[in-house]
Structure 1
């Protein structure tokens, strides 16, 4: 047995007992105007929101806003005939030149403009971070008011990998100069399906 295996074995044997998640009912937000609140917050952090009726509207906006000569890929079956399909079985490095990735989000959070993504819907874990531009589709009915409610949804999930993404990647750490695309997409669009 290697040192690594020994350490991991000891960690597994010394796990604390599971405890129930805390009651967060007093932190629930207002469901009224949740779509408008999400839109306002997401746009304030540099993102773009489109309220759409269906996938044909999404397709039209993508053709209008993005260069069709560049690589556009999606995990959504509704758009697969129009754009390249993201294959979870190919090497992640093959996606290094994606201009736009279009993926489904589980839900969105109005309080901070984030969307929740897990590995089961990303196609490849690297997709939302390696693309130049990211588009996420969420259903209006899945937007929750607060992060407390979001954590309530994911608290006991069975996903292997997941994360909240809120707007384009940015940093202003160095000389307080805003840099977009520092460690992720240059821009982010959320399509809210009514």
Structure 2
């Protein structure tokens, strides 16, 4: 004899709607250029900073110059990655996390990150400051193009991050770093 739960689930399964194709997004992308200048303008408007570099060896000197107080820096692409198996609570003292980004979006300054690159889901949110390394050719004009490039997610976790976290109260007092990193710096690599 079927339980009430089993009857309900069987009825739901039997009465599924037919699958239909997703609607076309043609014409919704607007006229936002997918250029570095367009991306920089939006990112800086959100409170982030951007540095153009030729290779990753330029990152350390720039961090020393602009963030001299950093004590613990975690680089997601390090081969060693001793921190990878740490209890995520042990990452609370990370001053700067440096992670690779997959896609940047000019219209909103966001960058797509997945757990495949960052290793630990909490890393970009628990650190005091966040640095994302993004290849210049990976900047897209709009979120529509970004979703087309991403397609069906291949990892268990992905997130778009745009600028340092912020919140404002009813008195219009803006607080940066309210729910995550206090600052975001994007290193655009390549010519």
Q: TM-score range by the shorter chain?
A: 0.7 to 0.9
Aligned to 1:74: 75
1:161 Cα deviation after fit: 1.2
- Cα distance in 2, alignment partners of residues 168 and 113 from structure 1: 11
- The yes-or-no answer on 1:135 pairing with 2:135 is no
Q: How does 1:1-194 map to 2 (within 5 A)?
A: 10=9, 13=13, 18-28=19-29, 34-67=35-68, 70-77=71-78, 85=81, 87-194=83-190
Where in structure 1 are there 5+ consecutive unaligned residues? 1-5
1:59 Cα deviation after fit: 2.0
The structure number with the bigger radius of gyration is 2
Q: Across the two proteins, how many residue pairs are aligned to each other?
A: 183
Change (3 A) 1:16 1:76: farther
Change (3 A) 1:145 1:48: same
Output the aligned Cα RMSD: 2.7
- Cα distance in 2, alignment partners of residues 64 and 10 from structure 1: 60
Change (3 A) 1:136 1:26: same
**Contact 1:136–1:191, Cα closer than 8 Å, also in 2:** yes
Change (3 A) 1:72 1:23: same
**What are the superposed Cα offsets for residues 94-140 of structure 1, whole Å, 9 maximum, x if unpaired?**
10110000000111000000001111111110011111000000001
1:152 Cα deviation after fit: 1.3
